Every structure is written in structure tokens, then in C-alpha cells.
Chain A
Amino acid sequence: AQKVTQAQTEISVVEKEDVTLDCVYETRDTTYYLFWYKQPPSGELVFLIRRNSFDEQNEISGRYSWNFQKSTSSFNFTITASQVVDSAVYFCALSGIFWDNQGGKLIFGQGTELSVKP
């Protein structure tokens, strides 16, 4: 069975602090995708990153960075110098491969609500 666990339900930080959101996943698949989505108060899920299981290189995009460690089944997300606009619920998700008829659906974690205070 596939499962995604985000143990941190809520995190509160002060602007300009760095914050790391944890994500641990379970899957029997040897190839899979991992994702992070942001859900602001407006409700729409916004895609942040997709990482495939072949590639364990860390990725940085502006103030965002992701640390994928296959050995510990973790895909953590760090926001550097947080801003008030980063306040949202963040979801980690897992998917099978897309190129067959069974892949593509996302298994989401329960989300971490991040509150960045000025």
C-alpha cells in the first residue's frame, strides 16, 4: 500500500526564519514520483515540485529547497527566509509512474499548516 505521512500538523514561525516541512512515504513501487503542493486560503492546490525516484539530487528554487533521501523514504521541504505570503497548507504527495493505465493518481499526506507571522 502507498502512504504519505506529514507528522507536523501545524508550524508557526516568525518572518525570515527558515522552516522545514517533513514528509515520509511508503511504497512498494520501485519507480514513483513525489510532489509538493501548496494550498493557500483560496483553496486551489498549487504545484511546487515533482521529483522522480531515479533522481536523488537535491533541488533549489529561489527560497525553496527539497531534500530527497530514498534510504529514509523522506522528501523534506525547506523554505529559507520565510515570508508572510508563504502561509498556507502544504501537502506532500506520492504517485505511481504515469506511463501505464494505473499510474498518475496522487496519494496525499494530511498536510502541514504553515503560519508565518510578521
Chain B
Amino acid sequence: DTGVSQDPRHKITKRGQNVTFRCDPISEHNRLYWYRQTLGQGPEFLTYFQNEAQLEKSRLLSDRFSAERPKGSFSTLEIQRTEQGDSAMYLCASSLGGGRGEAFFGQGTRLTVV
């Protein structure tokens, strides 16, 4: 399978715990995006990378959130001290930069904070 893959698919955690999600983009894609989707809403942009550089962060990304993309390959999104409001689907997408392609999405990681 050469699509975008995310791990885990589901995560249940207790409030206050830290969680980390992983995204493996399509191999030749140099742009990688993270979005958050709550029930009944469209995805909301969180952050994106061009290769290993994080070029933009939404104000939705509080200090408890951090994303990395070492070596411009896979990416991780960490949420520290989770809160119930963090419960959502976290979607990763990748694309070719330079106006060459649309974004392809993974199946998402559904986070439930109890």
C-alpha cells in the first residue's frame, strides 16, 4: 500500500496523559499536513511541513501540541497533558509541493480522552 498511513487508528487515554501519533506520507511527497476533525465538522488545519521544515502552525495548535518531521520523512504529533477537548480525529495528508498535486489523506487517528 503506497498511500498515507497513520498509527494508531484509535487511541483512548486518560486526561492528563501524553499521546503521540505517527504519520507516514506517500514517499515522494515533500509536503505533510496535520488536520483535526471534530464530529460533524470539516477538518481544521493544524500545521504543515515542507520536507523537515515546519512552515506554518495554526493558532489551534496550543503549547501542548508539538509536531516534528525529522529528515523530511514520517511525522509525529504529540499532545501533552491531554484534555477532553482534544478528543477528535487527527488526519494527516501529504502532497507534492510546487503546485503539482492535491493532498492525499490517511485514515486518521481517533483520539478519545476520558
Which A positions have Cβ atoms within 8 angstroms of B? Answer: 4, 35, 37, 42-47, 50, 91, 93, 97-99, 101-111
Contact = CB atoms under 8 A, between A and B. Distances in A.
Nearest to B109: A43
4 shortest A-B CB distances, which residue pairs?
A: A108-B42, A45-B105, A98-B99, A99-B99
B80 to A, nearest CB: 24
Nearest to A50: B102
A101 B31 CA distance: 10
Contacts of B103: 47, 104, 106
Residue among B31, B102, B105, B108 facing the most chain A CB atoms (10 A cut-off): B102
B81 to A, nearest CB: 26
Given A35-B102, A97-B99, A107 B45 contact: yes
B97 A98 contact: yes
A111 B41 CA distance: 7
A45 B106 CA distance: 7
Contacts of B56: 101-102, 105
Contact of A105 (B48, B101, B108): B48
24 contacts: A4-B42, A37-B105, A43-B89, A44-B105, A44-B106, A45-B43, A45-B91, A46-B105, A47-B103, A47-B105, A93-B42, A98-B95, A98-B97, A98-B98, A98-B99, A99-B98, A102-B55, A103-B99, A104-B48, A105-B33, A105-B45, A106-B43, A106-B93, A110-B41
A90 B32 CA distance: 22
A35 B43 CA distance: 13
